[in-house]
Amino acid sequence: MFRTLFLKARWRMVGWNVAIMTIFLIVLGGAIYGLFSTRIYIEGDQQLITEKAMVETDLEAKGWNAAQMIQNPTFADSSYRIVVATSDGTVNYTTDCPPVVFPAPCLPQDFKALNKDAVRSALNNGNDIRTMSFRHQPVRALTFSESFPHPNVQFVIQISHDASGEDDALRELRLLLILGGALGILLAGLGSVFLAGRALVPIRQAFARQRQFTADASHELRTPLALVRANAEMLERGGASLRFADAELVHEIIRETDHLNRLIGDLLTLARADSESIAIESKPVDFRTLVAGVHEDLSLIAESRGIASDIALNGAITVQGDEVRLRQLLLILLDNALKYTDPGGRVDLSLARVNNRAYLTVADSGIGIPQADLAHIFERFYRVDRSREHESGGTGLGLAIAHWIVDAHQGNIKVDSKLGRGTKIVVELPAGG
């Protein structure tokens, strides 16, 4: 049980460490990429702005004649692509196909409409600069609007240059950040596994010492308790010579000694279960016969308390497990149901098989369990009704032992209860062939 808890705690710590490291690396990588992608275009963007000033100057010198401006060898032979388009993005002139070369054929993509987002941004803000694709190649484009006085029409001009170098650099940076981040997360995970294991060592040792102390103390207390009970029994046998009050006191000593013996036995069982020193013998068990026998034994107790009891067995069912521990499980569940059911109530037991699972149901019409307590009933020493537990000789460890037995048999145990209307406990175990 505790090994499972430690394993869960270890992986929870590893998960949190890896999650935090992942978030840190994502934020750091995003910041590095954003800063680098901004700075890598600074020089090229400045050149685009300078080219824009030259275009505007040339347009003004040529009387805002875009066709003549496109024919300017300074622009036609440069590494910059210049496009003049209408406000809806339709290309009229481009340095890829200047009017001077007409009637030479031009490629259809030379007159492809400009990026709508870039045009819209240029018309609204005056300027737009972004990276886009042209002829399946990345380009850095500066788009801006101009109002031509003759006629008085608003046009859009776009200046762009090849951005393959910057795009390759950013691609390499992305790859480096992804690989570096993955390696960082892997190293963080491996380091977290190691550090979590080291961090839990002192806690493991403390739990081990506590389990050992519980087991040793339980074992050592059995002998003096046996002597106390033996002496009390000797006094009780001489009850004729005892006063009534003294006889009652001796009887109370015997009763409390029995209670302590049961408590010590349960503590010893749980301590050994925690240290995994109890061997679970796995062999085929006729579960139907076992359930029927335990019910027959406890039905007499139920009858003496005025509690009705019934059993429903649906065919032969075999489970793989330890017959002694499974019998202990049944005794705990039925005893618990009888303990919290008042005279006039009933406790019913049923067994059924669904596919390859055996379902054992113990239902009572007792006092029920408050919803707030349902999540805690399998905790050690947890009692819903402390007064009734003490009167019946309970130790507060029965359901904790039942939960361990079910876990040891790879099963599940579920509780459904309503206050004042009873409790139903369903145990699910793997069924044999």
Question: Is 404 domain-assigned?
Answer: yes
Same domain for 369 and 305? yes
Residues 50 and 155 in one domain: yes
Range(s) of the domain holding residue 293 = 283-430
Distance in angstroms (rounded) separating the CA atoms of residues 268 and 257 = 16
Q: Is residue 37, in this structure, part of any structural domain at all? A: no
> pLDDT tens digits for the chain (433 residues)?
556 666 777 788 888 888 999 999 999 999 999 899 888 888 889 999 999 999 888 888 888 787 778 777 777 677 888 988 888 888 888 887 765 544 455 666 667 788 889 999 999 988 999 998 888 889 999 999 988 776 677 889 999 998 988 889 999 999 999 999 999 899 988 888 888 777 777 776 666 666 666 666 666 666 676 777 777 777 677 655 666 666 777 777 777 777 777 776 766 677 666 666 666 778 888 988 998 998 888 888 888 889 998 888 888 888 888 888 898 899 889 988 888 888 999 999 999 988 888 999 999 998 888 888 888 888 777 766 555 555 555 667 888 888 888 988 889 999 998 888 889 999 999 887 6
Specify whether 155 is located in the same domain as 259.
no
- As given in the structure block, the two tokens for residue 421 are 């209307």
Q: pTM here?
A: 0.51
Give domain status of residue 191, yes or no. no
> Domain check: are 258 and 298 in the same one?
no
pLDDT of residue 28: 92
Measured on CA atoms in the order 94, 96, 100, 105, is the torsion positive or negative?
negative
Helix (H, G, I), strand (E, B) or coil at 142: strand
Q: Which of 221, 241, 274 lies at the terminal end of a domain, its last residue?
A: 274
By the 8 A CB rule, do 170 and 25 touch?
no
Are 285 and 321 contacting, i.e. CB atoms less than 8 angstroms apart?
A: yes
Distance, in Å, from the CA atom of 136 to the CA atom of 100, rounded to the nearest integer, reads: 27
Same domain, 298 and 385: yes
Q: Is position 413 within any domain?
A: yes
Whether residues 290 and 403 share a domain: the answer is yes
324 lies in the same domain as 217: no
130 and 113: one domain?
Answer: yes
pLDDT for residue 102? 47
Residue 319 lies in a domain: yes
Nearest to 333 by CA among 349, 311, 309, 319: 349
> Do residues 289 and 362 share a domain?
yes
| Residues 415, 298 within the same domain | yes
Please tell me whether residues 363 and 228 are part of one structural domain.
no
Residue 13: in which H helix or E strand, if any?
Answer: helix 2-39
Number of domains in the chain: 3
Q: Are residues 313 and 407 in the same domain?
A: yes
d(C-alpha 333, C-alpha 311), whole Å: 14
CATH at residue 298: 3.30.565.10
